[in-house]
Amino acid sequence: MNHIILQYNCVLAFKNQKYEESLKYLDQLITFNENDVIALCNRATCNFKLGLYRQSISDCDRVLELEPFNSIAIMRKLKSIKHLKDYHQDYLELKKSVSDLWGYFNVKLYDNTIMDMSSDSDDEEEDSIKSQYSKSDKKVSISLSNSSSSVPIPLQQSLGQQSQVHQTSENESIMSLKKSSSFDELNQLLEQLSTDSLAIEINKGNMLVNSGNIVEAFGIFSDLIESHPLIPSAYLGRGTCNAFLGNLDDAIQDFNRSIELDNTCADAYKRRGQSKVAKQLEKEALEDFNQAVVFDKSPNKDYDILYQRGLLHFQMHNYERAERDFKRVVEMQPLHKLAWNRIGLCLNAKGRPIDALVAFQRSIDIDPLFEASYTNVGQCWKDIGNYQESLKSFSKAIEIAPGYANALHLRGLLFFNSGKLELAIQDWSKCIEQDQKEGQMKPEVKQLRAIALYTCGKFSKSLKDYQEILEWNSDHYSFYQRELAMFTRYHLDRSIKEFNIDQSVDCYLKTYQCQRFPPSSLMEESGYRVYKDELMDQKIEDIENDVVFNRESDILKVAVEFGSMLQYQCSGFLPNYRQKLQCGLAIIEMAQTLREFWKSGGVMEVDGRSSSGQTTPHQFQWRDLYDIGVKWRQLSEPNDPVWWIDLLSPKQFQEGFGSHTPMITGQCQVVRYYPMFERSFELMKKLIPNTHPSYQDVQKARNCREMHSIMKDFFVVIPCYSMFNSSKVMEGTRLTLQYVQPEGYEFAIRTPGTPQRWEEYSEEMTLIFNQLTQVIQQSDHFNSTNNNKKLDDKSLDRISELILSLTYYWYNFMPLSRGSAAIGLTTMLALFLSVDIRISSPIPKDIQPDWEGILRQTPESFLSVIKPWVFPSRVTYSLDCENLPSISNEFNTIRKIIQILNKVSL
């Protein structure tokens, strides 16, 4: 017979007082599940009704083995014991258990006309209780955490004048509660608990909740509360229904009442915590989960409490605590695939993708079709920088679940970050379609698609996406991208030699974009005027990609080959084919421009229209050279705010806007840059003066926590010594340490772009560039009569050292809001190429040239690390032999630049 039918027949027989018949059904239910607590409680009641007190006690004992604090079993056992003379000692011990269960209350038990305790035992119990608590003024002190959520508001109100709160410290308060002189409410509760048919109704409500019949279950629990207002589990059930129905405030009130009636119910704290999480009351929710863990006394711990708390810790970015909770879950439930998946997410969030892969694999071993873990494996490989493995895992997740939006979203990012824009657009379009089917609007995915569309010149669709996002939220960050897309569209066919992007874009738009301030602040504080709406009404033609350029295949081949030399052989750096192409094209254009400059004798006037520095006619200088690389970087990936810092708002430049790169952020070890932490940390210790009172303690510090406990938030400045004036010391990069919530630290480099720094580094780079020009002229390499004679070793070494020195100061200067590292390396390779030298070997594994410059105080120190790579790999190579067209002439508009970059992106 179906167990539902058995339950129904059991209840029907009990209501008709056919206890023997009810027992038969209960026996069958217990045969199905010998740990069925409700069936055991009900059988104990039937045995009690039939006068079978020993059998009733036996059933109660079984229940109490499973749930030591089961109130119904305790009450029923007490009633049964009272009828057996030889159980007097057990009766007294159980009475004490009841007292412990209900805290400070003086407990009396009634069963209709039979009073369970004589006057003598009343006195005995009163003495027992008083021995546990303070006798003074009949008060008892209960320690509570310093939070309003620890004592629900309804409870505080019901206590009225009986409660007094005394603040004792910053983290603790004491509430003194007078004992109640009336036991009517408790006795009423116990009387209701002894009506065992209520358990059946509560079980029915719970079954309806589990089967998804929330409204019907809500009605059952509400009826129970109306007729029996002191049943904790009824409020617990109705609160659960309210939570499912989205009535979170009502749910919390129900859970509050359940906790008032039974303040040791772990499930009530857990469910109230879940409701508070949904209301974004994170700190209060965390207290509830902590209480739930404390009060979970069942033999088989409720691992879901730990899982829910772990989810909250993860949401609060406390990955250390989240990981610990999830690990406790898998200790109790080794096959909990979600917990294993979460352990992996914690590890990857902490910057440990290799360890995370192990956890995700455990999840996949449990469920080979678990698409979420395959997706997370893909993200790990992406963070490591392994494109093929990442693609394989993302694609597996999508194969399992073709409409899985998260996998489509993240695979799209993999494509985008690898320069494969068309594939990224396809994935994000599918993701958006899937979200629309589910009635969702995810602006972040639509924004990503808009960026990709804008990047490859599909302006009409891009601006449509931006417009939809801004209609949803007019203060969305995509406002800045929309404005830049309009700017790009407006200047699409204007000669790039006639204007400079940095000079043309509003300085406040650039500043607020870098700072990610809401657009409304831009309007209010700067008076910025958006591009006219009539531009949106014009027919916006997308860039066509069927154009063929002069010597196109040769240009692409050589450019990609040169650009590939910028690939770091370090974790976290994906190969990006679009970026390789733009770097290669920039290298060729810079080298061609420099060759023209060298051949002119180092004297070449530029009109200043395309310059970011001097906008009037002037002699070609180092900044004009770097402008070429900046232009290509800006147009290849317009989502990145790559701007000259001195062309941001005057106020921001005066205050020192600068770059910021963390090695540790919060609890995360940044995969790309954490390998620099140990060196940077030791350098920080060395730069603290030995006269500092905590100098000795600082030298013993092994990590951020120990250092911060000594120094608190602080920074040191790495000195940067002038190459031409040994007494001149410039401000290099700052190494900063800050405490960040929750329980983490930020260890980072920060480089402020102040006017004084700008002046000092500009002067240093001008001197080096002029000396480089002089040495090249003296070498006669570009003397027309010598037909580009080969450089002698001495001249080559001196030129090489000057090129590397210029690169060193550029890295320490960090004059761009973003992209300084790549543009510095691009320019270095172009300078070598301009004198017919090609660097043939890739960057050595685990070497990041920009960091080698940043963490060193002199150019000589930088050269000692870079020369072993650069010098042996210098080979003679003439760019003229390639017979390539002039890059600056062939790609002289934004349209043409986007078209050539699209050759590897679509």
pLDDT of residue 151: 28
Residue 522 has pLDDT above 60, yes or no: yes
Query: How far apart are the C-alpha atoms of 109 and 130, rounded to whole Å?
Result: 19
Task: Reduce the DSSP state of residue 600 to 3 states and report it.
Answer: coil
User: Quick one: 895 and 824 in the same domain?
Assistant: yes
User: Quick one: 762 and 878 in the same domain?
Assistant: yes
Name the β-bridge partners of 174. Answer: 143, 166
Place of tokens 């831009």: 522
Task: Yes or no: say if 653 and 511 are a contact pair by the CB < 8 Å rule.
Answer: no
| C-alpha pair distances (Å), 593 with each of 612, 627, 629, 665 | 17, 12, 12, 41
User: Quick one: 767 and 811 in the same domain?
Assistant: yes
**pLDDT > 90 in the chain, percent:** 69
**Total Cβ atoms within 10 A of residue 8:** 14
Our measurement of the distance from residue 553's CA atom to the centroid of its chain's CA atoms, rounded to an integer in Å, reads: 42
Query: How far apart are the C-alpha atoms of 317 and 666, rounded to whole Å?
Result: 8
pLDDT of residue 129: 26
Which domain, by its residues, includes 161?
A: 134-181
Query: How far apart are the C-alpha atoms of 176 and 159, rounded to whole Å?
Result: 11
The answer to whether position 545 is within a domain reads no
Q: Which of 721, 752, 783 lies at the terminal end of a domain, its last residue?
A: 752
Secondary structure (DSSP) of 314-372: HHTT-HHHHHHHHHHHHHH-TT-HHHHHHHHHHHHHTT-HHHHHHHHHHHHHH-TT-HH
Report which of 496, 488, 434, 433 is spatially closest to residue 462, judged by C-alpha positions.
Answer: 488
Q: Which of 697, 728, 752 lies at the terminal end of a domain, its last residue?
A: 752
pLDDT of residue 139: 29
The answer to whether position 7 is within a domain reads yes
Task: Yes or no: say if 218 and 245 are a contact pair by the CB < 8 Å rule.
Answer: yes
The answer to whether position 188 is within a domain reads no
Residue 740 has pLDDT above 80, yes or no: yes
Q: What is the pLDDT of residues 23-56, one digit of tens each?
A: 888 988 888 788 888 889 889 988 888 888 888 8
Query: How far apart are the C-alpha atoms of 836 and 877, rounded to whole Å?
Result: 5
The answer to whether position 547 is within a domain reads no
Query: How far apart are the C-alpha atoms of 371 and 398, rounded to whole Å?
Result: 7
User: Quick one: 42 and 119 in the same domain?
Assistant: yes
User: Quick one: 896 and 775 in the same domain?
Assistant: yes
pLDDT of residue 157: 30
| C-alpha pair distances (Å), 188 with each of 77, 152, 184, 540, 872 | 18, 22, 6, 77, 91
Name the β-bridge partners of 110. Answer: 115
Place of tokens 């150019």: 859
Report which of 384, 438, 450, 439 is spatially closest to residue 412, judged by C-alpha positions.
Answer: 450
Residue 125 has pLDDT above 70, yes or no: no
| Mean pLDDT of all residues in 695-702 | 96
Cα dihedral: 668, 674, 677, 680 (round 10): -120
| Local structure of residue 542 (DSSP, 8 states) | P
pLDDT of residue 278: 96
What's the first-to-final CA gap in the chain, in angstroms?
64
**Total Cβ atoms within 10 A of residue 708:** 17
pLDDT of residue 875: 96
Query: How far apart are the C-alpha atoms of 734 and 714, rounded to whole Å?
Result: 10
- pLDDT, averaged across the chain: 86
Q: Which of 118, 150, 181 lies at the terminal end of a domain, its last residue?
A: 181
**Structure-block tokens of residue 891:** 């790609």
**Structure-block tokens of residue 643:** 């701007």
Our measurement of the distance from residue 384's CA atom to the centroid of its chain's CA atoms, rounded to an integer in Å, reads: 17
Q: What is the pLDDT of residues 679-696, one digit of tens each?
A: 999 999 999 999 999 999
The total of structural domains in the chain comes to 4
User: Quick one: 18 and 115 in the same domain?
Assistant: yes
Residue 73 has pLDDT above 90, yes or no: no
150 phi/psi in degrees, rounded to 5: -70, -35
Long-range CB contacts (< 8 A, 24+ apart) of 407-413? 407/371, 407/374, 407/375, 407/378, 408/434, 409/445, 409/448, 410/375, 410/378, 410/379, 410/382, 411/378, 412/445, 412/448, 413/382, 413/448
Q: Check the CA dihedral 839-844-847-848 and report its sign.
A: positive
Name the β-bridge partners of 122. Answer: none
Report which of 492, 493, 579 is spatially closest to residue 904, judged by C-alpha positions.
Answer: 579
Q: Which residue has the higher pLDDT, 718 or 788?
A: 718
Q: What is the pLDDT of residues 613-637, one digit of tens each?
A: 999 999 999 999 999 999 999 999 9
User: Quick one: 892 and 786 in the same domain?
Assistant: yes
| Mean pLDDT of all residues in 55-59 | 89
pLDDT of residue 731: 96
Residue 155 has pLDDT above 60, yes or no: no
pLDDT of residue 788: 65
- Which residue type does 652 have? Q
Task: Yes or no: say if 804 and 862 are a contact pair by the CB < 8 Å rule.
Answer: yes
The answer to whether position 8 is within a domain reads yes
The answer to whether position 425 is within a domain reads no
602 Cβ contact partners less than 8 Å away, ≥ 6 residues apart: 773, 774, 776, 777
Place of tokens 């790990």: 380
**Structure-block tokens of residue 317:** 């970015």
Residue 274 has pLDDT above 80, yes or no: yes
| Mean pLDDT of all residues in 174-196 | 43
| Mean pLDDT of all residues in 630-645 | 95
- 206 φ/ψ sector (left φ>0, alpha ψ -120 to 50, else beta): alpha
144 Cβ contact partners less than 8 Å away, ≥ 6 residues apart: 150, 151, 172, 173, 174, 175
Q: Which segment of 96-110, 522-536, 881-895 scores lowest on mean pLDDT?
A: 96-110
pLDDT of residue 189: 52
User: Quick one: 890 and 768 in the same domain?
Assistant: yes
Name the β-bridge partners of 875. Answer: 838
| Mean pLDDT of all residues in 594-606 | 94
User: Quick one: 592 and 700 in the same domain?
Assistant: no
Task: Yes or no: say if 273 and 308 are a contact pair by the CB < 8 Å rule.
Answer: yes
pLDDT of residue 789: 73
Query: How far apart are the C-alpha atoms of 256 and 263, rounded to whole Å?
Result: 9
**Total Cβ atoms within 10 A of residue 774:** 12
| Local structure of residue 162 (DSSP, 8 states) | G
Q: How many helices (H) and strands (E) does the chain have?
A: 44, 14
Whether residue 742 has a cis bond before it, omega within 30° of 0: yes
Place of tokens 């430049």: 653
Q: What is the pLDDT of residues 532-570, one digit of tens each?
A: 654 555 666 789 998 999 999 999 999 999 999 999 999
Q: Is 817 exposed, middle or buried (0-12, 13-18, 19+ CB in 10 A)?
A: buried
| Mean pLDDT of all residues in 54-66 | 88
Query: How far apart are the C-alpha atoms of 719 and 741, rounded to whole Å?
Result: 30
Q: What is the pLDDT of residues 864-879, one digit of tens each?
A: 999 999 999 999 998 8
Query: How far apart are the C-alpha atoms of 86 and 818, rounded to whole Å?
Result: 85
Task: Yes or no: say if 560 and 577 are a contact pair by the CB < 8 Å rule.
Answer: yes
Task: Yes or no: say if 733 and 752 are a contact pair by the CB < 8 Å rule.
Answer: no
Cα dihedral: 531, 534, 536, 542 (round 10): -100
Task: Yes or no: say if 567 and 582 are a contact pair by the CB < 8 Å rule.
Answer: no
Q: What is the pLDDT of residues 193-231, one digit of tens each?
A: 545 577 888 889 999 999 999 999 999 999 999 999 989
pLDDT of residue 784: 62
Q: What is the pLDDT of residues 843-866, one digit of tens each?
A: 999 999 999 999 999 999 999 999
Residue 756 has pLDDT above 80, yes or no: yes
Query: How far apart are the C-alpha atoms of 812 and 721, rounded to whole Å?
Result: 11
Task: Yes or no: say if 50 and 19 are a contact pair by the CB < 8 Å rule.
Answer: yes
pLDDT of residue 539: 67
**Structure-block tokens of residue 162:** 């009986």
The answer to whether position 74 is within a domain reads yes
**pLDDT > 70 in the chain, percent:** 86
CATH number at residue 622: 1.10.3290.20
Place of tokens 């590897």: 904
Task: Reduce the DSSP state of residue 414 to 3 states and report it.
Answer: helix
User: Quick one: 828 and 694 in the same domain?
Assistant: no
User: Quick one: 735 and 780 in the same domain?
Assistant: no
Name the β-bridge partners of 746. Answer: 665, 738
**Structure-block tokens of residue 859:** 């150019």
Report which of 66, 478, 105 is spatially closest to residue 263, judged by C-alpha positions.
Answer: 105
Q: What is the pLDDT of residues 423-482, one digit of tens each?
A: 999 999 999 999 888 888 889 999 999 999 999 999 999 999 999 999 999 999 999 999
The answer to whether position 70 is within a domain reads yes
Q: Which residue has the higher pLDDT, 141 or 807?
A: 807
Query: How far apart are the C-alpha atoms of 211 and 751, rounded to whole Å?
Result: 59
User: Quick one: 567 and 688 in the same domain?
Assistant: no
Query: How far apart are the C-alpha atoms of 36 and 556, rounded to whole Å?
Result: 73
CATH number at residue 47: 1.25.40.10
Query: How far apart are the C-alpha atoms of 611 and 595, rounded to whole Å?
Result: 19
pLDDT of residue 276: 97
Rg of the chain taking only CA atoms, in angstroms = 37
Q: What is the pLDDT of residues 662-680, one digit of tens each?
A: 999 999 999 999 999 999 9
Our measurement of the distance from residue 20's CA atom to the centroid of its chain's CA atoms, rounded to an integer in Å, reads: 60
**Structure-block tokens of residue 655:** 């205050």
pTM of the shown model: 0.78
Our measurement of the distance from residue 658's CA atom to the centroid of its chain's CA atoms, rounded to an integer in Å, reads: 24
| Local structure of residue 645 (DSSP, 8 states) | G
Q: What is the pLDDT of residues 75-123, one digit of tens each?
A: 888 888 877 766 656 666 666 655 554 433 233 333 332 223 333 333 3
Interhelix angle 214-227/232-244, rounded to 10 degrees, is: 150
| Local structure of residue 85 (DSSP, 8 states) | G
- Which residue type does 389 have? E
For the chain, the residue count is 906
Report which of 162, 166, 200, 168 is spatially closest to residue 182, judged by C-alpha positions.
Answer: 162
Place of tokens 């955490």: 145
